Amino acid sequence: LAKTTQPISMDSYEGQEVNITCSHNNIATNDYITWYQQFPSQGPRFIIQGYKTKVTNEVASLFIPADRKSSTLSLPRVSLSDTAVYYCLVGRNSGGYQKVTFGTGTKLQVIP
Amino acid sequence: DVKVTQSSRYLVKRTGEKVFLECVQDMDHENMFWYRQDPGLGLRLIYFSYDVKMKEKGDIPEGYSVSREKKERFSLILESASTSQTSMYLCASSGGQGLQPQHFGDGTRLSIL
């Protein structure tokens, strides 16, 4: 079971690019990396998922180095509405039963 | 729009009561999950189900049970509620064999007095 480590909190000014890194040293060969965003009083929301190199969607980019022992969620030009907790989760997408566990997340505060 | 719906946003119960939390998903997903979320502890998996009538224990199953009689519905049961079970409870679902939750409900804030 891959354990993840993230910074507890980060601050950023509006308009800046924010990079949040997650460490997962014991990631398995067929594990994927998934990031979620959670606002207060809401359930987490899927942002992006990747296996290796770089993945980009309309919301974020995900960078995964060749050794896959870490990953970086990149949010371009953040706004106040991006203030939330961001979770990194590691686990496989197929092959049957596997228990996956969330870490404690990174609380991002965007400052005007 | 895909949806995971939890029956109550807020619930107050008394110690010793049997409590049912209901979750319904409309995406025909095979997998459903129950988490609890507490300050400083993040999301912790209580139980999940990968098929009708199938269930697996998560990280903190003690004091809880689950029921999945139909594919779209996953119930969490607190057999005899205790104050330590006061928490935010989140239901989630995912499709296929993937076991990373894809869609979450908005949670039930449960208070046990």
The answer, for A112 touching chain B at a CB cutoff of 8 Å, is no
**What tens digit of pLDDT does each residue of B25-55 get?**
999 998 999 999 998 888 899 998 988 989 9
Is residue B91 predicted with pLDDT exceeding 80?
A: yes
Is residue B96 predicted with pLDDT exceeding 90?
A: no
**Chain B neighbors of A32, CB-CB under 8 A:** 100
Is residue B62 predicted with pLDDT exceeding 90?
A: yes
B59-93 residues labelled b (16+ CB within 10 A) or e (exposed): eeeeebebbbeeebebbbbbeebeeebbbbbbbbb
Position A68 scores a pLDDT of 95
Smallest CA–CA distance from B10 into chain A, residue: A41
From the CA of A96, how many Å to the nearest CA of chain B? 6
DSSP A10-29: EEEETT--EEEEEE-TT--T
Q: Positive or negative, the Cα torsion across A50, A55, A60, A64?
A: positive
Residues shown for chain A: 112
d(C-alpha B93, C-alpha B33), whole Å: 6
Top residue of A98, A106, A107 to mutate, by most chain B CBs within 10 Å, is: A98
> Mean pLDDT over residues B8-13, rounded?
95
Please, what is the average pLDDT of chain B? 92
> Mean pLDDT over residues B76-99, rounded?
90
Residue tagged 């064999």 (tokens): B97
The answer, for B23 touching chain A at a CB cutoff of 8 Å, is no
**Chain A neighbors of B8, CB-CB under 8 A:** none
Q: For residue B75, what are the contacts with CB-CB under 8 A and spacing of at least 6?
A: B20, B21, B22, B23, B66, B67, B68
Question: Mean pLDDT in each 10-residue stretch from start to end of chain A (112 residues)?
Answer: 86 97 91 92 91 93 96 96 94 69 88 95
Strand order in the sheet with B19-25: B4-6, B19-25, B73-78, B64-70
Where residue B107 falls among pLDDT bands split at 50, 70, 90? very high
Is residue B102 predicted with pLDDT exceeding 80?
A: yes
- In A1-112, which ranges are continuous DSSP H helix? none
d(C-alpha A96, C-alpha A61), whole Å: 28
Is residue B72 predicted with pLDDT exceeding 80?
A: yes
- As given in the structure block, the two tokens for residue B104 are 């979450």
Position A18 scores a pLDDT of 97
d(C-alpha B17, C-alpha B63), whole Å: 12
Position A100 scores a pLDDT of 73
